[in-house]
Structure 1
Amino acid sequence: MSNKNGDSFSVAIPEGDHELEHLTGETGTGRSFSPSLTRQVSYQGEPAAPLSQLVNNPTASILGYCLASISMTVVNKYVVSGSDWNLMFLYLAIQSIVCILAVLACKKLGFLTLERFNTDNAKSWFPIAVLLVAQIYTGGKALQFLSVPVFTIFKNLTIIVIAYGEVLLSGGRVTPLVLLSFGLMVFSSVVAAWADVNAAAGSGSHPDKTDAALKTLNTGYAWMLANVFCAAAYVLGKGRVMKKLQTRDWDATYYSNLLSIPVLVLGSFLAEDWSAANFARNFPEDSRRSLISGMIYSGAGAIFISYASTWCQRVTSSTTYSMVGALNKLPIAISGFVFFDAPITLGSVSAIFFGFISGIVYAWAKIREKEKAKMALPTRR
């Protein structure tokens, strides 16, 4: 039987003001995603009830956004945390294939528009697709070995790397308030690691059991460190290519996920065991249907999260949306305690608290930056 005890990541979707997740994980503005559902009105100019009342309800949009994020985290963790799981490339390939099919279905239904496939653009997007593969693979491996709360806390470190990457590449700057949030992020990660090591050291009186637990943690932290830099490289690289080619959000999603499929399939063929016996170990009969359903949902979930974030942005303010993105990390971390066997200790709870505060401080800092930019008057020479 498989042992499901652990966290999450996801295919790439259009991104908004916040990075990833993700693996996670990740939200989007979905500027080109505009389902006609959100524009239903009666001939008298009154909103079509009750459906339009629901899609224009701020509380419903926030709950939908949070539930979409939590469900993706829980499903991804469930799939990858089997004791014999070793088909990560295959899983990610299926995820990307389902995501592409979902995007094409939305295009067919008129929910979004895509540009015609362009070979020259594809050549520019291929390196970004490789970075996407590196990001989601390292994220998936980190999830195998780390709990949901720890994974969620450590993903904050990606924000720091991206911020300083932008400073180096674009000459941006880090404000004191943002720097304070970074300090809290690092502190919460240190507390989380300390709590994890203490929990592993006390996991059993037998030295072999303790050594195995610590080895698992060290492996998870190594993958997590790799994921932080891979995710940052992907976000920074994607932003530069989008700016260079003037690519819209959904076209970027389409190219990066489509071009990642052959890389993932090749990786699976070269590095993974496709024997019947190994498939039987990875997909035990008692959980086979739920695993396959989870794999399909994780691919389609990219669309769900993107719509939910677009919905939240549309019916609330940008300030509310930014704060919801920061506050959403708390229920995602708590889901690790609720759905999996993540240890509840003073250290783990403290780490989540400081990570939660760091997210609020960061969101508030970015809101203040935008407000100052709007207030700045243009000058003429």
Structure 2
Amino acid sequence: MADGKKTDDYELRDKGSKGYEPPMSTPRPAGSAPIIAATNSPVFPVLSYCGSSILMTVTNKYVLSGFGFNLNFFLLAVQSIVCVVAIQMCKSSGIITYRDFNVDEARKWFPVSLLLIGTIYTSTKALQFLSIPVYTIFKNLTIILIAYGEVLWFGGSVSGMALFSFGLMVLSSVIAAWADIQHALQNYGHSETEASAKVSTLNAGYMWMMFNCICSAAYVLGMRKRIKLTNFKDFDTMFYNNVLSIPILLVSSLLLENWSSANLDINFPPLQKNRIILAMIFSGLSSVFISYTSAWCVRVTSSTTYSMVGALNKLPIALSGLIFFDAPITVPSVSAIGVGFVSGIVYTLAKVKQSSGPKAGILPTTSVPMSASSQSARDSFKS
């Protein structure tokens, strides 16, 4: 969301129309004051945003790596369908509002949706092969690609403080990769075949992570270009991204993925079938939660606070991998998490310093409005 704009998701009905008269005030029900105070308190939206980010990451990791799951396109299609159904129900109930589907706007936005499909697909593949802490640390590299992409395509420059944070991001990624490989060799060193297979799995994860960083940066930069043509708000972006993604994901799943009964039994074992299906549905709802809580967080606090929360949120997301999954807990792995956490804070402080300084010679981040849902997606790429 652009700085200073905190009401993109909240329709101010008729207040700007000619002859508008405020409605007569009605007494609030007893006990409503504490609820309103809690809603406007920054603590609840910040905790809700952090919780929804962690839940979605953990849920995706559970589905993708718990039972040999390989229907990634189908998982993403289910998530998009659940998201569209959820926001359509909210729109019908008058909770949110977004524009109706328009063919011309869909044509303009379609390239962005393709980039998003590439981003989320490579994200699921990387998360399938890598632990959550390593995945979170490597996501920081996307920031470097976005920053220099903005320099090349939108003008501007990178400050010394931001450059220092980039160095920390690269360092944390190198430490994380080294820690992962060392752990694999130490635990499977007694068997050269097992060690080689484990290292090959990690290398596949790093490859998918590289593709994900490239796709993520291209998505954010492409969205900055296209949003000028459509002037989408928060839920407009979410609606079009998911509606345009559904047919592509379903066709890709039918053509590229194995739908044999034997493979379905692998993906949905009888004893875990219901839990996997519920996790897939819940991961789709999580995307709605993230967009809503991110908009809530920016509205109640500020864009600066929201950015800082995104940086601080890297630590609990990485720790969730250590708590809920068998991610190795070693001195190098913990050090990599710490360096990655510090790099995110340093980068956020660099952006805050740039935004408070003179406008000349800084990365352009205010020329195009950024919706809260787009910002949440951008932060999830950084996580």
Normalising by structure 2, what TM-score?
Answer: 0.85
Unaligned 5+ residue runs, structure 2?
14-24, 362-383
Are 1:257 and 2:257 counterparts?
A: no
Letter in 1 for 2:9: S
Query: 1:343, CA displacement in angstroms?
Result: 0.1
Pair 1:319–1:207, CA change in 2 (3 A) = same
Could you tell me which residue of structure 2 aligns to residue 133 of structure 1? 117
* Distance across 2 between alignment mates of 1:261 and 1:369: 39
Could you tell me which residue of structure 2 aligns to residue 354 of structure 1? 339
Give the aligned length: 348
Query: Are the counterparts in 2 of residues 29 and 306 from structure 1 also a CA contact under 8 Å?
Result: no
Query: Matches of residues 1-381 of structure 1 in structure 2 within 5 Å?
Result: 31-33=8-10, 43=27, 48-204=32-188, 205-373=190-358
Pair 1:310–1:247, CA change in 2 (3 A) = closer
Superimposed CA distance per residue, residues 316-372 of structure 1 (whole angstroms, 9 cap, x where no aligned partner): 243322211110000000000000000001110000000000000111111112222
Query: Are the counterparts in 2 of residues 144 and 220 from structure 1 also a CA contact under 8 Å?
Result: yes
Superimposed CA distance per residue, residues 249-294 of structure 1 (whole angstroms, 9 cap, x where no aligned partner): 3212211211111111111011111122211110112211111111
* Distance across 2 between alignment mates of 1:30 and 1:333: 31
Could you tell me which residue of structure 2 aligns to residue 379 of structure 1? none
Query: 1:50, CA displacement in angstroms?
Result: 3.3
Query: Are the counterparts in 1 of residues 7 and 299 from structure 2 also a CA contact under 8 Å?
Result: no
Pair 1:45–1:287, CA change in 2 (3 A) = closer
Query: Are the counterparts in 2 of residues 192 and 351 from structure 1 also a CA contact under 8 Å?
Result: yes
Per chain length, whose mean CA-contact separation is higher, i.e. which structure has more relative contact order (CA < 8 Å, sep 6+)? 2
* Distance across 1 between alignment mates of 2:322 and 2:12: 35
Pair 1:197–1:42, CA change in 2 (3 A) = farther
Pair 1:57–1:97, CA change in 2 (3 A) = same
* Distance across 2 between alignment mates of 1:16 and 1:95: 27
* Distance across 2 between alignment mates of 1:275 and 1:35: 51
Could you tell me which residue of structure 2 aligns to residue 24 of structure 1? none
Could you tell me which residue of structure 1 aligns to residue 19 of structure 2? none
Unaligned 5+ residue runs, structure 1?
1-14, 18-27, 377-381
Which secondary structure state, in structure 1, belongs to the residue aligned with residue 262 of structure 2? Answer: helix
Q: 182-191 vs 118-127, which deviates more?
A: 118-127
Pair 1:265–1:214, CA change in 2 (3 A) = same
Letter in 2 for 1:137: Y
* Distance across 1 between alignment mates of 2:221 and 2:6: 17
Pair 1:275–1:45, CA change in 2 (3 A) = closer
| Aligned sequence identity (%) | 52
Query: Aligned-pair RMSD on alpha carbons?
Result: 2.4
Could you tell me which residue of structure 1 aligns to residue 378 of structure 2? none
Query: 1:237, CA displacement in angstroms?
Result: 0.9
* Distance across 1 between alignment mates of 2:167 and 2:130: 22
Normalising by structure 1, what TM-score?
Answer: 0.86
Superimposed CA distance per residue, residues 129-151 of structure 1 (whole angstroms, 9 cap, x where no aligned partner): 11111111110000010000000
Q: 90-99 vs 122-131, which deviates more?
A: 122-131
Letter in 2 for 1:275: S
Query: Are the counterparts in 2 of residues 33 and 307 from structure 1 also a CA contact under 8 Å?
Result: no
Superimposed CA distance per residue, residues 29-77 of structure 1 (whole angstroms, 9 cap, x where no aligned partner): 78225799xxxx9737998233223212222222111111111111010
* Distance across 2 between alignment mates of 1:345 and 1:154: 18
Query: Are the counterparts in 1 of residues 67 and 266 from structure 2 also a CA contact under 8 Å?
Result: no
Superimposed CA distance per residue, residues 143-179 of structure 1 (whole angstroms, 9 cap, x where no aligned partner): 0100000000000111110111111111122111111
Letter in 1 for 2:346: V
